[in-house]
Amino acid sequence: MREGKKSTLKKVLAYISSYRWILVLSILLAAVTVALTLYFPILCGQAIDCIIGPGEVDFTGWMVNEGLYVLAKRMVVVIFLTAVTQWLMNVCNNQITYQVIRDVREEAFAKIQILPLKYIDGHSYGDIVSRIIADVDQFADGLLMGFTQLFTGVITILGTLGFMLSINVSITLLVVILTPLSLFVAKFIATRTHDMFLLQSKTRGEQTALIDEMIGNQKVVQAYGQEKKVLERFDEINGRLEKCSLRAIFFSSLTNPCTRFVNNMVYAGVAILGACLAIGGGSSTGLLAFLGGAVTVGELSCLLSYANQYTKPFNEISGVITELQNALACASRIFELIEEEPQSPEPEHPAKVEHFDGSMSLEHVAFSYVPEQHLIEDFNLQVKKGERVAIVGPTGCGKTTLINLLMRFYDVNSGRICVSGTDIMEMNRSDLREGYGMVLQETWLKTGTIRENIAMAREDASEAEVIEAAKAAHAHSFIKRLPDGYDTIVSEDGDSLSQGQKQLLCIARVMLALPPMLILDEATSSIDTRTELKIQNAFAKMMQGRTSFIVAHRLSTIKEADIILVMKDGNIIEQGNHKELLAQDGFYANLYNSQFAR
């Protein structure tokens, strides 16, 4: 665990190192700022020492110090200098933080593009998104806070110590000995409240789960009239939550008063000791010399403000350290993503197929998502140019698996898949995918205009070509009716389009490019049968002369196929055309006949 933390820190530093000059500048500025901030109370103290009593105020410098006039001028200069360096330091820190996280985010996103689909399918989108967004954000907060507060905090502590020592040793000792008490108090409370917070977040989690489930399915709850029962369960958790949050909030909120109490004690101690030393100022007894010599009233006031300043960073630093730890934890989650094994590299000398003729062969293909669970074993298939392959079977039978393999979203475990006689493993993924046109069951639209969405396959397509493709997919008429026509902005979760319309757009996308091989996964499931009928013709035209794989429920599509693959539980259990399969009187025949059972 510790090792992990260290290596995460190292990686973070590696990112920061691109901005090391700004970092150096920031540290320098921090040192200057702190020195100036600490110098100011000294000037104040000196000024106060100039003010002794009626008629005894030194404006021009006839006593030991410089006069009040000079001091005041100096103070104003110090104030403005401090402000400028402080601002510059903050700007530097901003610069470093935001550029570092920009780099991290960019790298994470670029990583997504080359991650194997296995990783993406195996993790919820929310998880990956929260790594790139929420974790990076949290990381930025921690980093920024670390830069601004940790640096200045440490420098302030050291600087204050130095300045205090230069004024009086014994008072400094008093402060140094007493201050860590507040840290102990804070730590003590934190460890005691840890369990309470754990209980609170557990209870809260329990409640959120219930809310998520019940409100998420409110319609079902109402349909079954379960509102009262659900509310009872909710109230039971709610009551428990109230009790444990009260404890957690109350006990943790003790930290502030308690540390403040310690600070006030330090303050009182400095006041008493300082005052005693000031009284003894005139005489130089042995005890006084032992305590570090006398102080003036001005120095006392300066020490008092130091005592305040010295304790503050201690309180802050404990907060910063938890924040930093949190930030490191977030960083390690991001790095986990960034360092995830990418998909297998492209071949060094990729084979290039000049022209896909549409022929395909699968030889002894074996594949499984998890090693222990064999899915496809020794699968052989020859598809000639222009043939139509239908994949049939109950949901979850692994129809999409086959598509995953053909498109090389996943790689086969053994055996090989050849397209136009070339093993697809020897080709660049992009070259292979160029040969396919794909319409998936889940329609996906990119945020952008309709035109951009259709022209996805060929960015250089002309307006006329886009419209023609839309017409072929029977999408033109509804696009025309949209407020901005082809310039209407659509998005994946935008509800301006119906599911069916979205699917038509996805079809138009393929219509535009018309690659030699087609993959249609339930392509028309969301389109009502009448519209579907209309696009069937377009489809038929599109499929002419092209090799196509179709995952379909509809019998009419299935029956016309040259090869029907019947899948069940991930395996291809039957293979042949409609007549052959009916003659086999197996699973397919049963499936087919059951449609007509009364």
Partner 1 sequence: MRRLLVYLKDYKKESVLGPLFKLLEASFELFVPLVIAQIVDVGIINGDYGYVWKMGGVLLLLAIVGLTCSVTAQYFAAKAATGFATSLRHSLFSHIQSLSYTEMDRLGTAAMITRMTSDINQVQSGVNLVLRLFLRSPFIVFGAMIMAFTIDVKAALIFVVTIPLLSIVVFGIMLISIPLYRKVQAGLDRVLGRTRENLTGVRVIRAFNREDEETEGFTEENQWLTRMQMFVGRFSACMNPVTYIIVNVATVVLIWTGAVRVDNGILTQGQVIALVNYMSQILVELVKLANLIITVTKAFACAGRISGVLEMSSSLSEEAGESVEETKSNAYIQFRHVDFSYKGAGADALTDIDFTVEKGQTVGIIGGTGSGKTTLVHLLPRFYDVKAGEVLIGGKDVRNYPLEGLRAKIGIVMQKAVLFHGTVRENLRWGIVEEEGMTGDVCGNGEADRTDEDALMWEALEIAQAKEFIEKKEGGLDFEIEQGGKNLSGGQRQRMTIARAVVRKPEILILDDSASALDFATDAALRKAIRNASEDMTVFIVSQRAASIMYADKILVLDDGKIAGQGTHQELLASCEVYQEIYYSQFEKEEGKEGT
Instruction: For the segment 154-193, give every residue that binds partner 1 (CB under 8 A).
Output: none
β-pair partners for 496: none
Q: Is 64 in the site for partner 1 (CB under 8 A)?
A: no
Residue 370, classed as helix, strand or coil, is coil
Q: Is 1 in the site for partner 1 (CB under 8 A)?
A: no
At 352, which helix (H) or strand (E)? none
Q: Is 492 in the site for partner 1 (CB under 8 A)?
A: yes
130-138, 371-379, 412-420, 570-578 -> range binding partner 1 (CB under 8 A): 130-138
Q: Is 288 in the site for partner 1 (CB under 8 A)?
A: no
* Binder of partner 1 out of 118, 260, 385, 451 (CB under 8 A): 260
* Cα–Cα distance measured from residue 425 to residue 431, given in angstroms and rounded to the nearest whole number: 11
Residue 519, classed as helix, strand or coil, is strand
Closest CA to 408 of 87, 106, 55, 118: 118
Hey, which residues between 315 and 374 contact partner 1 (CB under 8 A)? none
* Binder of partner 1 out of 99, 361, 571, 577 (CB under 8 A): 99
Closest CA to 152 of 43, 319, 26, 22: 26
* Binder of partner 1 out of 221, 338, 425, 543 (CB under 8 A): 221
Hey, which residues between 531 and 590 contact partner 1 (CB under 8 A)? 531-533, 536, 554-556, 559, 590
* Binder of partner 1 out of 40, 197, 369, 478 (CB under 8 A): 40
Please identify, using beta-carbon distances, which residue of 40 and 197 lies nearer to partner 1: 40
Please identify, using beta-carbon distances, which residue of 36 and 563 lies nearer to partner 1: 36
DSSP 586: S
Are the C-beta atoms of 388 and 560 separated by less than 8 Å?
yes
Phi, psi torsion values for 571, nearest 5 degrees: -105, 150
Q: For 217-226, where are the alpha helices, taking DSSP H only?
A: 218-223
Please identify, using beta-carbon distances, which residue of 101 and 353 lies nearer to partner 1: 101
Burial class (CB in 10 A: 0-12, 13-18, 19+), 516: buried
Size of the site for partner 1 (CB under 8 A): 151
Q: Is 218 in the site for partner 1 (CB under 8 A)?
A: yes
Q: Is 491 in the site for partner 1 (CB under 8 A)?
A: yes
| Widest pairwise Cα distance in the chain | 122
CB of 450 to partner 1, least distance (A): 15
Q: Is 527 in the site for partner 1 (CB under 8 A)?
A: yes
Please identify, using beta-carbon distances, which residue of 72 and 165 lies nearer to partner 1: 72
Please identify, using beta-carbon distances, which residue of 59 and 382 lies nearer to partner 1: 59
* Binder of partner 1 out of 499, 544, 580, 583 (CB under 8 A): 499
* Cα–Cα distance measured from residue 162 to residue 164, given in angstroms and rounded to the nearest whole number: 5
Q: Is 436 in the site for partner 1 (CB under 8 A)?
A: yes
Closest CA to 525 of 454, 583, 419, 440: 440
Q: Is 110 in the site for partner 1 (CB under 8 A)?
A: yes
121-129, 334-342, 380-388, 542-550 -> range binding partner 1 (CB under 8 A): 121-129
* Cα–Cα distance measured from residue 504 to residue 86, given in angstroms and rounded to the nearest whole number: 58
Please identify, using beta-carbon distances, which residue of 3 and 282 lies nearer to partner 1: 282
Please identify, using beta-carbon distances, which residue of 323 and 532 lies nearer to partner 1: 532
* Binder of partner 1 out of 165, 254, 351, 589 (CB under 8 A): 254
| CA angle 218–222–223, rounded 5-degree value | 115
Burial class (CB in 10 A: 0-12, 13-18, 19+), 484: exposed
* Binder of partner 1 out of 51, 63, 158, 198 (CB under 8 A): 51
At 430, which helix (H) or strand (E)? helix 429-434
CB of 351 to partner 1, least distance (A): 17
| 203 alpha carbon, distance to own chain's centre | 25
* Binder of partner 1 out of 184, 261, 382, 541 (CB under 8 A): 261
* Binder of partner 1 out of 2, 3, 14, 219 (CB under 8 A): 219
44-52, 160-168, 177-185, 321-329 -> range binding partner 1 (CB under 8 A): 44-52
If one counts every other C-beta atom within 10 angstroms of the C-beta of residue 558, the result is 22
CB of 82 to partner 1, least distance (A): 6
Please identify, using beta-carbon distances, which residue of 5 and 338 lies nearer to partner 1: 338
Phi-psi domain of 393 (left: phi exceeds 0; alpha: psi -120 through 50; beta: other) = left
* Binder of partner 1 out of 191, 285, 373, 594 (CB under 8 A): 594
Q: Is 276 in the site for partner 1 (CB under 8 A)?
A: yes
Please identify, using beta-carbon distances, which residue of 172 and 263 lies nearer to partner 1: 263
Cα torsion angle, 424, 426, 430, 435, sign: negative
CB of 530 to partner 1, least distance (A): 5
| CA angle 37–42–48, rounded 5-degree value | 130
* Cα–Cα distance measured from residue 348 to residue 540, given in angstroms and rounded to the nearest whole number: 39
52-60, 190-198, 332-340, 358-366 -> range binding partner 1 (CB under 8 A): 52-60
If one counts every other C-beta atom within 10 angstroms of the C-beta of residue 119, the result is 16
Burial class (CB in 10 A: 0-12, 13-18, 19+), 465: middle
* Binder of partner 1 out of 13, 24, 198, 279 (CB under 8 A): 279
Hey, which residues between 371 and 430 contact partner 1 (CB under 8 A)? 394-396, 407, 409, 429-430
CB of 533 to partner 1, least distance (A): 5
* Cα–Cα distance measured from residue 214 to residue 219, given in angstroms and rounded to the nearest whole number: 9
Half-sphere exposure of 155 (CA within 13 A, CB side): 20
